[in-house]
Structure 1
Amino acid sequence: MRATTGIATVAALTAGLALTACGSEGGTRDGTTASKADGESITIGFSQRRLAGSDWWATLLQGAEDKAAELGAKIIVTDAGGDTVKQNSDVQTLLTRGVDAIILNPHDPTGLASAVTTTVRDDVPLVVVNGSLSDELAPHQFCYVAEDQIGVAARLGAAIAEKASERWGDEPVTAVVIGGYSGETITNLRHKGVVEGYASVEDAPEITYLPIRYGEWLPDRALTPTRDVATANPDIDIVFSLSDVMLPGIERGLRDAGALNQVLIGTYDGQMAVLRKMMENPDGPVQVNASNEPYKQGQTAVEMAVAAARGESQDEVCPGGEFFIDTFLATPENAEEHHDPQRQF
């Protein structure tokens, strides 16, 4: 993960954009006018995969809106509601409205070829945030902004392995992963990370993984599959929740099955309410939480979009086409250090 580089690059980029907003001149993407160097003349279209039911997505959007206001740019937000067809249409609508850059949080990594193709055809820079595009579509993006999902999830998996070793020694354990959607890139990367991270701990108990279940990144959708798997496997020991947003449903499902107090839970997002729970109940089921900073992701996506609209080069602001956000790993032992009551995540 390029954590230190990320901080330095964002700081330099923000400083440059602030100077621009104060009135310095510069070229544009097409070189025809100087007005695009002024943040106030830049309009960003933000195509969000879904908003309803997720504080994480709301926080991502809030970071984007706050940064756009800070830089004097305008932002137009569309909500696809979890519908790939609508998201393709949303991007077309944003392009028709003449936006200078598109920020895309894709619902389907392979299903947005139409949106990506049209954006490229119209010579509008594309910044992808949180969700990723397929290998075939990703080369068309100016920058992908997210956390290093495999790396962050691996730290989560390793930390749970250490907790499991402390609790069960060398006794074999049974685990289940609760992800978002089947076949989705985010779910696959995080799943891969927790498995690799657990395996990296030499003295960790031997682990058997039950088939992954899916909660669609929402608490109500995660409840039933969690309850079902815990009921069918009363000896379950470890649950990996690949998003804090699903955690209330996962905990309720485990409670309904009578398994909540016997499991170790490792979860992912860094929600402050979850950290507070670890502080208040350090011996409770939730023992590790890996953050992914949605507010910072939204801020950085806007910074990249404004830079691209101004004609900044990818090599200068987003080397390699990826920008990984700094994250933290919280446990009951250090949760207070990371807890910020002014934030949701």
Structure 2
Amino acid sequence: MKTKHILGALSLAALMVSTAYAKTLTLPVVSKGYQHEFFQTVKMGTVAAAKDLGVETSFVGPADETQIAEQIQLIENTMAKKPDGILLAALDANALTPLVETANSRGIKIVTFDSGVNSDIPASFVATNNVKAGAEAADALAAEVGGKGKVGVIAHVAGTSSAIERSEGFTKQMKEKYPQITVLPVQYSDGDPQKAMDKTTDMVQANPDLVGIYATNEGSTLGVANAIDSLGIKGKVKVIGFDSTEAIIGFLKSGVLQGFVVQDAYQIGYQGIKALNDAINGKAVAKVIDIPVKFVSMKNINDPAVDKLLHPFGKK
């Protein structure tokens, strides 16, 4: 009996020691940036998931979405700390592939979000279905312009999969469903509001018969809206944007924008960390996790579900 007690005590002690020394997974995030509200909301989702799952996370990204070399350096710095996995939004689908291969060779799991890489290595890709979202934006703009006329696209970063897919989804839908609409060649703004504003101004001046513009991310949407507003052509050139900020909501309410596609950035972050944690723990993970978008216009902006998406940090 005494022996049983001793063995039981030893087993309990061993369990306590193993629990005490159980490794907490480290799952850092390397984003495309941090300046946009979209990525701040993604970060909020990653932090919440890490807390719920009992893992550690951190969040870094270059100062803007053109800094591919800087992002590569951030990934190298992150890998040097020997994390268990990395949640990555790639600035360039090709340039970041070798880094993903290096991580894989070191036993570091990769899950991508928002913008992926040209590789089968990542355990999962968590994002908006950007092709489908682009098609939805095309339907919205076509309805606004009466199914005919000339429209333009102001996209963000040329090598980013999200920009490519949102533009392709839009142009393909226009070509297939709206033969009376002509889509001008895509213009890239690097997601910079000032560049997007300049590109829009040039587009309007070169095409006096322009009836609509589609912008593919937060920075592009702000730039297009500012240009339309400053040129005094609100309502004459219809605008469908992508992503949401208080300024974008303001442009919708003032009639500069006719609508915008909003992503559930919080869920993209949350599900990204969850997928990475599951993959490391040997659980089945879907290769693609589609986080649905919502199209916002003046018709639904006051719906409670839409309001929650638009104000993830609460109303100021």
List gaps (5 residues or longer) in structure 2.
Answer: 1-17
Assess if the C-alpha contact under 8 Å between 2:136 and 2:170 holds in 1: yes
Deviations 1:193-214 (A, max 9, x none): 112333454xx57112222211
Assess if the C-alpha contact under 8 Å between 2:26 and 2:83 holds in 1: yes
The Cα shift of 1:99 comes to 0.8
Q: Distance in 1 between matches of 2:151 and 2:19?
A: 56
| Structure 2 equivalent of residue 252 of structure 1 | 226
Is 1:76 aligned with 2:45? no
List gaps (5 residues or longer) in structure 1.
Answer: 1-33
Is 1:239 aligned with 2:213? yes
- Where does 1:237-316 land on structure 2 (aligned, <5 Å)? 237-271=211-245, 274-275=248-249, 277-278=251-252, 280-281=253-254, 284-312=255-283, 316=284
Assess if the C-alpha contact under 8 Å between 1:156 and 1:197 holds in 2: no
Quick one: structure 1 residues 259 and 120, their matched pair in 2 at CA, closer, same or farther if it must change by over 3 Å? same
Deviations 1:223-253 (A, max 9, x none): 1111111122222110101113322221222
Q: Distance in 2 between matches of 1:243 and 1:84?
A: 18
Q: How many residues align?
A: 292
* Residue 179 (structure 1) aligned to one of 151, 155, 166: 155
Is 1:123 aligned with 2:114? no
* Residue 64 (structure 1) aligned to one of 46, 50, 58: 46
Is 1:104 aligned with 2:88? yes
The Cα shift of 1:64 comes to 1.1
**Which letter maps to 2:164?**
N
Is 1:339 aligned with 2:307? yes
SS in 2 for 1:286: coil
The Cα shift of 1:261 comes to 3.4
Q: Distance in 1 between matches of 2:220 and 2:294?
A: 19
**Which letter maps to 1:334?**
N
Quick one: structure 1 residues 79 and 270, their matched pair in 2 at CA, closer, same or farther if it must change by over 3 Å? closer
| Structure 1 equivalent of residue 135 of structure 2 | 154
Among all aligned residue pairs of Structure 1 and Structure 2, give the percentage whose two residues are the same amino acid: 18
Q: Distance in 2 between matches of 1:122 and 1:86?
A: 21
Higher relative contact order (CA 8 A, sep 6+): 1
Q: Distance in 2 between matches of 1:69 and 1:163?
A: 44
Deviations 1:294-338 (A, max 9, x none): 1111111111111122222xxx221xx111002212222222222
Q: Distance in 1 between matches of 2:241 and 2:222?
A: 11
The Cα shift of 1:96 comes to 2.1
TM-score by length of 1: 0.77
**Which letter maps to 1:335?**
I
Q: Distance in 2 between matches of 1:77 and 1:160?
A: 35
Assess if the C-alpha contact under 8 Å between 2:97 and 2:117 holds in 1: no
Q: What is the root-mean-square deviation in Å for CA atoms of aligned residues?
A: 2.5
Assess if the C-alpha contact under 8 Å between 1:148 and 1:324 holds in 2: yes
Q: Distance in 1 between matches of 2:81 and 2:233?
A: 52
SS in 2 for 1:339: helix
Assess if the C-alpha contact under 8 Å between 1:160 and 1:198 holds in 2: no
**Which letter maps to 1:44?**
L
| Structure 1 equivalent of residue 4 of structure 2 | none
Is 1:194 aligned with 2:152? no
SS in 1 for 2:239: strand
Quick one: structure 1 residues 277 and 252, their matched pair in 2 at CA, closer, same or farther if it must change by over 3 Å? closer
Deviations 1:240-297 (A, max 9, x none): 011133222212222343433311111122546544653x44xx24222222211111
TM-score by length of 2: 0.83
Which one has a bigger Cα radius of gyration?
2
Quick one: structure 1 residues 342 and 179, their matched pair in 2 at CA, closer, same or farther if it must change by over 3 Å? closer
Q: Distance in 2 between matches of 1:246 and 1:57?
A: 15
